[in-house]
Amino acid sequence: MAKTELLYMNDNYIRTFTAKVIAKGDDYLVLDKTAFYPEGGGQETDQGKITWGNVVLTVWKVKREEGEVRHFVVEKEQLPPVGEEVQGEIDWDRRFTHMRFHTAIHVLSTYMKEHFNSEVVGNNISTRNGRADFHLENALTQEQLKTIEAGVNEIIAQNLPVKISFMPREDAIAFLKEKGYQTDYINMVPKSVKTFRIISVGDYDHASCAGTHVANTSEIGRIVVVKRRSMGKGKERITLALAEE
């Protein structure tokens, strides 16, 4: 099992990087470090390219498998040997859209907690939309959806900085509890994980999260609530789009 340093954990804005091939399979490479986000936590995979010499490989999926971060490429007959130095470049338009949606979902989650006393129970981030599922007794009305859209946009328009902090488990739990969040999900993380990455959107939203986010909510722009759907058993799904202006 070859271990990869995840460059995006500290800096979500790294688009290009140099790395060494430390393992490979029939159609994938494992690198000593990467800026590619592997699909997971509700966020879709990054895509892009890996170059070595004159060879350009198209990365179509990055995924954790058997403890490794595997970069799956289209041109599988042209894989570099283990030990080779390669250049990586992520598809920035795609990633930046994910960052905008992902950060908007953080704001929406706290908004729903504050105004509907509702916990988020799942989410999905793609280039088309961002969606999140909430525990709610009753279906949301059109009027409520308009209120949610306006409320979330009001928070986003405050141009809040988004900060990344790393905390030991106990500190992360104490910090989130103090901010009023439930921390059951942290207790479900294996004890071998000792450090947690806390994302703070101003002092509005705080969460333990390994995804990618913008550095300031001003980069999200305006969001539109495009639909709601009942997922059954008191669960409502809210889908967001980005308003292109």
Residue nearest to Zn ion (CB): 209
147 contacts: CB under 8 Å, gap ≥ 6 = 115
Vertex 172 angle, CA 213 and 179, to 5°: 80
> With contacts defined by CB under 5 A, how many residues of the chain interact with Zn ion?
2
* Pairing of the two strands 16-24 and 48-52: unpaired
Per-residue contact track with Zn ion, 204 to 243, x per CB under 5 A?
-----x-x--------------------------------
Minimum distance from residue 208 beta carbon to Zn ion (Å): 9
Amino acid identity at 202: G
Question: Of 42 and 80, which has the nearer Cβ to Zn ion?
Answer: 42
Per-residue contact track with Zn ion, 67 to 106, x per CB under 5 A?
----------------------------------------
Minimum distance from residue 189 beta carbon to Zn ion (Å): 15
Q: Which of 141, 109, 112, 137 is nearest to 125 (CA)?
A: 109
Q: Which of 155, 160, 151 is nearest to 215 (CA)?
A: 160
Phi and psi angles of residue 161, each rounded to the nearest 5 degrees, phi first: -70, 145
Stretch that binds Zn ion, among 20-28, 75-83, 143-151, 203-211 (CB under 5 A): 203-211
Minimum distance from residue 193 beta carbon to Zn ion (Å): 16
Question: Of 19 and 209, which has the nearer Cβ to Zn ion?
Answer: 209
Question: Of 14 and 164, which has the nearer Cβ to Zn ion?
Answer: 164
Burial code (b: 16+ CB inside 10 Å, e: under 16) for 205-237 equals bbbbbebbbbebbeebeebebeebeeeeeeebb
Per-residue contact track with Zn ion, 153 to 192, x per CB under 5 A?
----------------------------------------
Phi and psi angles of residue 237, each rounded to the nearest 5 degrees, phi first: -105, 130
Minimum distance from residue 220 beta carbon to Zn ion (Å): 13
Per-residue contact track with Zn ion, 43 to 72, x per CB under 5 A?
------------------------------
- Nearest-10 crossing angle of helices 92-116, 142-156: 120
Question: Of 4 and 103, which has the nearer Cβ to Zn ion?
Answer: 103
Q: E strand or H helix at 154, and its extent?
A: helix 142-156
Q: Which of 130, 124, 79 is nearest to 101 (CA)?
A: 130
Q: Is 130 in the site for Zn ion (CB under 5 A)?
A: no
Point out which residues bind Zn ion (CB under 5 A).
209, 211
